[in-house]
Amino acid sequence: AQSVTQLDSQVPVFEEAPVELRCNYSSSVSVYLFWYVQYPNQGLQLLLKYLSGSTLVKGINGFEAEFNKSQTSFHLRKPSVHISDTAEYFCAVSDHSGGGADGLTFGKGTHLIIQP
């Protein structure tokens, strides 16, 4: 079984400032890692994913995340945020065992609030 911890329920940031949203996971097997974004009244949209290979992955909208196996972390970063980045961000994990049948395990989400 896996679990995902997003310690920050809310992160306020000024516009054009950098941001890091933290995600830690636990699993007894190798995992795939994902960040999803949820804009108000919309579904979940994939920002980026780590499957294997390079530990630094780049996603849409200027976001990137770094997989750190020793720290079991997958923190999301953006060097300069915009008002339009205001949304809920979810970290999720899936293990390799069941292939496409696996459900994703989500963290509780972090609400990113961009202040002008």
Residue corresponding to tokens 């795939």: 32
Span near another protein by CB under 8 A; candidates 19-27, 38-46, 53-61, 76-84: 38-46
The dihedral through the CA atoms of 37, 77, 74, 53 has a sign that is positive
DSSP state, residue 2: -
**Which residue among 94, 110, 112, 114 contacts another protein (CB under 8 A)?**
94
CB 64 within 8 A of CB 49: no
Span near another protein by CB under 8 A; candidates 17-25, 57-65, 74-82, 92-100: 92-100
**Which residue among 13, 19, 25, 36 contacts another protein (CB under 8 A)?**
36
Which residues are 77's β-sheet partners?
20, 64
Q: Which residues in 46-75 contact another protein (CB under 8 A)?
A: 46, 49, 51
42 is a site residue for another protein (CB under 8 A): yes
**Which residue among 25, 34, 74, 89 contacts another protein (CB under 8 A)?**
34
Which residues are CB-neighbours of 6 under 8 A, at least 6 positions away? 21, 22, 23, 90, 91, 107, 108, 109, 110
77 is a site residue for another protein (CB under 8 A): no
Task: Identify the CA nearest to 63 among candidates 106, 71, 50.
Answer: 50
Interaction site with another protein (CB under 8 A):
32, 34, 36, 41-46, 49, 51, 90, 92, 94, 98-109
